[in-house]
Amino acid sequence: MNIKITLPDGSIREYAQGVTGLEIALSISEGLARQVLAAKVNGQVWDATRPIDCDATVQLLTWNDPEGKATFWHSSAHLMAEALEALYPGIKLGIGPAIENGFYYDIDFNGHQFSQDAFEQVEAKMLELARQKNPFRRIQVSKEEAIAYFAQKGDPYKLELLEDLQDGEITFYQQGNFTDLCRGPHIPDTSFIKAVKLLNTAGAYWRGNEKNKMLTRIYGISFPKEKELKEYLVLVEEAKKRDHRKIGKELELFTFSERVGQGLPLWLPKGAILRDRLEQFLKKAQLKAGYQQVVTPHIGSKQLYLTSGHYAKYGKESFQPIHTPDENEEFLLKPMNCPHHCEIYRSKPRSYRELPLRLAEFGTVYRYEQSGELHGLTRVRGFTQDDAHIFCRPDQVKEEFKKVIDLVLYVFSTLGFQEYVAQISLRDKEDRSKYIGSDELWEKAEQAIIEATQEKGMQTVVEYGEAAFYGPKLDFMVKDALGRRWQLGTIQVDYNLPERFELEYIGPDNQRYRPVMIHRAPFGSLERFVAVLTEHCAGQFPLWLAPEQVAVLPISEKYHHYAQEIFSLLQQHDILGYLDERDEKIGRKIRDAEVKKVPFMLIVGEKEQSQHTVAVRRKGQGDIGSMPLNEFVSYFKEQVALSMRPSE
């Protein structure tokens, strides 16, 4: 009996029943067959060797398809497990999935010593096994058989996983001497794996629960070609060069001190300039958008956070209250600015005519983060939010929300972040105990976000369980140099805090109403934003942000006087930079300025002094000719404006 197979180009071919993806590929071309890793059958990824029994739509997956890569890496995880089992008999296996870049397997080494020194040995074993061209076999087993197998093998983790599986849908995959409980799919055989590299090890709790045993997670990556592994490793090196912790040190943006405490960044002069420019930029944009700046203290009475609900939620995992010596009053370092802003709202009766009231503050907050979580500037214990709270009428929520989206996107585009993910963060579907407020209010808030993003025509992803405890959010995420995702901007709709703080306004009918709050921070925090921006531009900041914009480099001591004149004129135009009066040759001064990523160098010597010009050199471009200083200043200002123009 024949079945009809529809291919992605729309063509329909007939094959005998039980045809496999691999056979279909072979019927098209041998070259294709050599590349096929898996097959997407009616939208589901299958083994390329699995028989297809009825009419189906089939897409053949290769290394160029994300699902093809995932299958490849998943199979690589099995291969690694096989190699590890061969080298360390008696180990227990957790889970071993493919991830965004590679794969991992969680291993209980059951008494064996394992360290990264053994990586090469494991890699060699994997390649040895790969060359055996062992097919991955899919085996359907009953639950009983499956339990018997792992009970005999003595693998408690697999037995635990089996508990949650239904009889009848359990499959094993077997290659060489290795059998694993696995849903699949897998690549046809191990010989596709031509290059492997183990990357690092890490502890990981069994099933992600910190009450469970910690297993050793081994990360690795593999490729169908040796060359691709090399390219990948070059890419990783490049990413490391962009790491904001490294660049931050080199460019003297920030530092940490053990004596000050972990997670408490010290901003150095150049970093402070960067921060300040970002603040000024946003303040200006916010002024235009109708925000008003406020300032509030760094601590607040514990009572404030009891009211807001933050104390009940986070009190135990926060910095503990400060006690006054005499009255024994309790104060908390402020972990967020909203309660303070609520009190500003309450400072006088409000009319509907005043709304929306938009209160903005670069507010420094302190949160106790677990020590193992701290990471450069992206995860710290003291940081400054570009915070604002919009108090508005319920009928204004959507419009205000959309305006905030515009502001966030304006900020992103001005700073060159084209790639970001807008994530709608909603409540956990099952566990509602983590949240305050009624279902009705939550639904209103969630609806407002969904509608606003739809009306803006934004591409969004929805994540459940990612909401704040008082309301849903729209989060903007970007990736760092090493591919880790970080949340930058956030916009949150909140019906709950106005309740808790009993915020009110008088409506046109002279009745009291409750306003709605929108929390928002386009940068998120200055710290994290600077970190991600640093990596984004590899320390080569746009001209308007560069902490050192122009270096004045006299050829020799004889021209110091003229150079000083030039430098002070630059200062009068608010151009930042330095004058290099060191007793060094010009080549050296240029090199040092290049290394410091200074965008412009003005070289002055005999010729410039006599003609009253400056020789302009642009970083990365070289000499761009001589001109009178005033000409350079206007050229420079043009370039600053260009560097700020929102990219399309």
CA atoms within 13 A on the CB side of 410: 14
* Interface with RNA, residue 484, by CB under 7 A: yes
| Cα(22)–Cα(37) distance, integer angstroms | 9
Task: State in angstroms the smallest separation of the CB of 632 from RNA.
Answer: 13
12-16 and 2-6 strand pairing: antiparallel
3-state secondary structure 147-203: HHHHHHHCCHHHHHHHHCCCCCCEEEEEECCEEEECCCCCCCEHHHCCEEEEEEEEE
Please select the residue that binds RNA; options are 89, 325, 372, 508, rule is CB under 7 A: 372
Interface with RNA includes 608 (CB under 7 A)? Answer: yes
277 is an interface residue for RNA by CB under 7 A? no
Per-residue tokens: 156? 């408690």
510 sits near RNA (criterion: CB under 7 A):
no
Q: Show contacts with RNA in window 181-210 (CB under 7 A).
A: 200-205, 208-210
Cβ proximity to RNA: between 375 and 444 the closer is: 375
Q: Does 578 bind RNA (CB under 7 A)?
A: no
Among 237, 587, 645, 648, binds RNA (CB under 7 A): 587
Q: Which is nearer to RNA, 24 or 81 (CB)?
A: 81
Instruction: List 474's β-bridge partners, or say none.
Output: 424, 491
- Our answer to whether residue 283 is catalytic in this structure is no
Q: Which CB sits closer to RNA, 137 or 375?
A: 375
Q: Is 382 in the site for RNA (CB under 7 A)?
A: no
Alpha-carbon gap, residue 225 to 194, rounded angstroms? 6
Verify binding: residue 225, RNA, rule CB under 7 A: no
DSSP, residue by residue, 420-461: -EEEEEE--SS--TT--S-HHHHHHHHHHHHHHHHHTT--EE
Tell the smallest beta-carbon distance from residue 109 to RNA (Å).
10
Instruction: Out of 422, 478, 503, 590, point to the residue binding RNA (CB under 7 A).
Output: 590
Catalytic residue (one of 59, 174, 175, 385): 385
Active site residue 174: no
Q: Confirm if 48 and 188 have CB atoms less than 8 A apart.
A: yes
469 contributes a contact to RNA by CB under 7 A: yes
Nearer to RNA, 25 or 530 (CB): 530
Nearer to RNA, 392 or 614 (CB): 614
C-alpha 163/C-alpha 173 separation (Å) is 18
Interacting residues with RNA between 318 and 337 (CB under 7 A): 318, 335-336
Among 385, 373, 410, 386, which residue's Cα sits nearest to residue 484? 373
Q: Does 426 bind RNA (CB under 7 A)?
A: no
Annotated catalytic residue 367: yes
Number of residues lying near RNA (CB under 7 A): 73
602 Cβ contact partners less than 8 Å away, ≥ 6 residues apart: 550, 551, 552, 553, 566, 614, 615, 616, 617, 632
Contact between 402 and RNA by CB under 7 A: the answer reads no
Look up 389 and say whether it is catalytic: yes
The interface region with RNA, picked from 13-21, 87-95, 603-611, 633-641 by CB under 7 A, is 603-611
Which of 245, 302, 402, 637 binds RNA (CB under 7 A)? It is: 245
Shortest distance (Å) from residue 134 CB to RNA: 29
Q: Strand pairing of 382-392 and 421-426? A: unpaired
Pair 40, 31: CB distance under 8 Å: no
Q: Is 555 in the site for RNA (CB under 7 A)?
A: yes
**Of 81-89, 178-186, 439-447, 553-561, which part binds RNA (CB under 7 A)?**
553-561
Q: Which is nearer to RNA, 203 or 646 (CB)?
A: 203
**What does the block give as tokens for 474?**
């729209």
Does position 237 interact with RNA (CB under 7 A)? The reply is no
Beta carbon of residue 428, minimum distance to RNA (angstroms, whole number): 10
Does position 557 interact with RNA (CB under 7 A)? The reply is yes
Instruction: Please report how close the Cβ of residue 18 comes to RNA at its closest, in angstroms.
Output: 41
**At which residue do the structure tokens 């099933």 appear?**
207
For RNA, which residue of 242, 249, 298, 514 counts as binding (CB under 7 A)?
Answer: 249
In this chain, which stretch among 39-47, 68-76, 145-153, 600-608 interacts with RNA, using CB under 7 A?
600-608
Rounded Cα gap, residues 403 and 625, in angstroms: 45
Q: Please report how close the Cβ of residue 247 comes to RNA at its closest, in angstroms.
A: 11
16: Cα separation from own chain's centroid: 48
Verify whether residue 320 is a known catalytic residue: no
Residue 302 Cβ vs RNA, minimum distance, rounded to whole Å:
12
Q: Which residue in 195, 198, 468, 633 binds RNA (CB under 7 A)?
A: 468
154: its two tokens: 């003595």
310 touches RNA (CB under 7 A): yes
**585 lies in the binding site for RNA (CB under 7 A):** yes
Q: 473-479 and 214-223 as β-strands: parallel, antiparallel, unpaired?
A: unpaired
Query: Could you tell me if 97 and 77 are in contact, meaning their C-beta atoms sit under 8 angstroms apart?
Result: yes
CA angle 176, 178, 180 (to 5 degrees): 135
Q: Of 186, 197, 208, give the one whose Cα is nearest residue 137.
A: 186
- Using CB under 7 A as the binding rule, whether residue 482 contacts RNA is answered as yes
Q: Which residues contact 61 (CB under 8 A, 6 or more apart)?
A: 36, 37, 38, 39, 40, 45, 48, 67, 68, 71
Q: Choose, by CB under 7 A, the member of 262, 280, 511, 647 that binds RNA.
A: 262
Q: Where are the extended beta strands (E) located within 298-380?
A: 299-301, 322-323, 330-333, 357-366
Quickly count: other Cβ atoms within 10 Å of residue 317's Cβ.
Answer: 10
Residue 519 annotated as catalytic = yes
Stretch that binds RNA, among 70-78, 80-88, 618-626, 632-640 (CB under 7 A): 618-626
CB-nearer residue toward RNA: 246 or 573: 246
Please list the active-site residues.
338, 367, 385, 387, 389, 473, 519
